[in-house]
A and B are shown apart, each in its own frame.
Chain A
């Protein structure tokens, strides 16, 4: 199309004519949604996904507790490395990995600022590094474990380990709500994109775009919660009708539910090896 034609698009200010939308705004929301679902519903497989859910929960308990008994940076570093390896082997996916890297970069940046600008000594850096390694190890193994368990397996494992039934249900229901919340959020954001004030350019360092996004996020909260609450009313009634509360009181369903769980040699091996590695790391240090 030549610039001489006078369609409304051409009469707009030059900055509008030059811009070309990539569709990234909508696509990225969809990608995050799919990625969340892949994570929540363990669709990628990985070495933990094949194991008995009880073994995975126990493995998680061992790994999450391991880094808390020392201040030795070498031990903590080793645990961190192992946890990172486990998370990758469990296929945690680009979204979680990206978020993790982002938080790491933030942490390191914070340490640098602390040392260079505030003039702290090396001691404070060591202290912060210890805390960082411990927390990161825990978050990595959490990701590895929960990416490998779908809500079904988590409920079964919690039930098998004698956690209160309501806890197991709360976890699986939480998973059930993830797609609902994401859908609601997407619709509301779309509403703001259509009906809200149009962006007047990004502004210096994108401050205008940022304020706009921030404002939408805050304003989306109210309709999001109300719409979701309205939906859950049916869910609560359905639970009542289908005997969930009654079963929680009687506790009869537990045996039936768990009849399919099988503890295999592989599960024992996983736990044995994990404990051995943890002990070995402590021993060598």
Chain B
């Protein structure tokens, strides 16, 4: 085994990535999954230097995950597909090594981190890999890895009791317990709130800086790439188009757009307001400095160019939540409090975004509004009916609730069957025509006979929306409709939500995606500690630092730049800021 790197040398100067030895060297790698009709990787040549922090970006299905699985030998040792070319990790060819041997050098955190946890308790799961590899100090290694991520206090908690953020950290600790020299993390920010995503990235950045761990992340969020990565690999059609230092990479706006990667808003702003600037900004601070140094900085534009979208509070209510307190029984027999004396009313014509950190009670509130759960205390009235007095099935004539993971919406064996389920069950006249119309509207007629689980992420979301449309609800509730979608699928969903307005009286979206809030919502309800912390419009919210920090929200970059420049109301889109600057 090669000598391990000096693990505890904080601040040790690492060689600049370009001159350092290679952590990964891929030559002419082509790979096809067993039974697949196309190659997933096509002639990949890639060199990742030791000590680098690499972001792998690319649209859904561009081969990012397959490439990363080649680093730890899952491709081709676990997935026995057709492989040509070679992969060397720290100078050793992966062809001759087992996955477990590689695992000592390459830590891997899966996108679906919850299912990566295989042992009952946190401590046991973190110690699992060192134990399997026969390290006598496995318990100390586990303790060290947990201490590094502040998990010691939950060491004896059962893994299924953890929140999403804690599960993610546990999975990371499990990978770190082997002190790998290369760490691969697949979509660290997909399912956690912005503050937690930042915290996770801070951990990764520290590992990279202080211990010289080479980090590879697969990431959709260009802001995070800009802030933390040192270099970027753009994957398209199964091969890297380029591998460039981060500043240069994010300047290639056209390439990124072609691959469905959103350009960070700060870069978009700089290119449009300060064309030809030699050094593109990567952070909000850099962008603000750049824009205020312009000959005509867009500062004096405090006049309200766009009136905050008018509230329609005097419209008749679609749903009212009055004094609702709710919680769940815990394993120890007590009861947690998720919602605490919550009051809220939703009106005709509103597009409401429900925001707040993980565990703030968003999903619980949606379940209460859908009548799936009854409140312990207080009343929920939907469409004039108390949810205690009608069954969830009857209420679903008026309310539709789309859960976070679209595959959980697929109850039948085809998309058409799922869409038809509700109208047929109610014996709606012309149910078949309705179903075909809805499928046409979400552009899924071609794949309507396939099982929803076999569709791509974006198609799955559209199929779930189709289910909702066929129910013709007055109140539509959506849980995280845009998480882990690439730009195009995301825009698709947002456009479709906007188009729904004609058919649905009120839509409520629970989300961490502040771009969705900025682009779509006209009312934002911030939940914190089981209560409504703020109930306002997006521009006001993004200009209220106390509320943002308390609810752990991070506004879109353009709003942050606008606020830093002293604009009021803060702009919600790049177009708006540019417009007002002219």
Contact = CB atoms under 8 A, between A and B. Distances in A.
Interface of A: 7-9, 12, 16-17, 19-23, 26, 30-31, 34, 37-38, 41, 43, 150-152, 172-173, 175-176, 179-180, 184, 187-188, 190-199, 219-220, 222-223, 226-227, 230-232, 234-235, 237-247, 250, 252-253, 256-257
B467 A195 contact: yes
A197 B427 CA distance: 9
Specify which of A41, A220, A242 lies most central, judged by the most chain B CB atoms within 10 Å of its CB. A242
Contacts of B131: 247, 253, 256-257
A197 to B, nearest CB: 3
A108 to B, nearest CB: 33
Interface in B383-400: 383-394, 396, 400
B103 A241 contact: yes
B403 A187 contact: yes
A21 B120 contact: no
Interface stretch (B107-115, B263-271, B558-566, B573-581): B107-115
Interface centre among A192, A247, A256 (most CB of B within 10 A): A256
Contact of A187 (B159, B390, B408, B424): B408
Contacts of A219: 411
10 contacts: A41-B331, A191-B409, A223-B410, A226-B451, A234-B116, A241-B103, A241-B129, A242-B129, A247-B133, A250-B134
Interface string B397-417: 000110100011111010000
Nearest to A229: B453
Nearest to A16: B390
B72 to A, nearest CB: 6
Interface stretch (B44-52, B83-91, B349-357, B366-374): B366-374
Contacts of A38: 331
B421 interface: yes
B71 to A, nearest CB: 11
Given A9-B389, A30-B328, A246-B100, A23 B373 contact: yes
A219 B417 CA distance: 13
Contact residues of A: prevailing secondary structure: helix
Contacts of A16: 389-390, 394
B539 to A, nearest CB: 35
Interface in B92-119: 98-101, 103-104, 108, 110, 112, 115-119
Interface string B127-153: 011011111101000000000000000
Given A243-B103, A247-B100, 7 more contacts: A190-B372, A197-B424, A198-B425, A243-B100, A247-B133, A252-B134, A253-B134
B411 A238 contact: no
A43 B160 CA distance: 14
Contact of A195 (B103, B115, B158, B411): B411
B286 to A, nearest CB: 38
A232 B115 contact: yes
Contact of A243 (B133, B160, B372, B408): B133
A172 B119 contact: yes
A99 B112 CA distance: 36
Q: Which residue, of B328, B332, B385, has the highest number of chain A Cβ atoms within 10 A? A: B385
Given A172-B120, A246-B132, A7 B384 contact: yes
Contact of B426 (A175, A197, A240): A197
B13 to A, nearest CB: 31
A196 B424 CA distance: 9
A227 B98 contact: no
B212 interface: no
Interface in B175-205: none
Contacts of A151: 120
Contacts of A43: 331-332
Contacts of B72: 241
Given A190-B372, A247-B134, A195 B425 contact: yes
B494 interface: no
Contact of A227 (B69, B396, B453): B453
B364 to A, nearest CB: 12
B116 A235 contact: yes
B132 A253 contact: yes
B582 interface: no
B133 A26 contact: no
Given A223-B411, A237-B74, A176 B370 contact: no
Most chain B beta carbons < 10 A, residue from A12, A188, A190, A199: A190
Given A176-B118, A194-B401, A226-B453, A37 B331 contact: yes
A187 to B, nearest CB: 5
A20 B332 contact: no
Contacts of A193: 372, 391-393
Contact of B120 (A41, A222, A244, A252): A41
Contacts of B100: 240-243, 245-247
B132 A234 contact: no
A180 B159 CA distance: 11
B373 A152 contact: no
Given A9-B384, A247-B131, A238 B331 contact: no
A250 B132 CA distance: 9
Contacts of B393: 193-194, 196-199
B422 interface: yes
A234 B396 contact: no
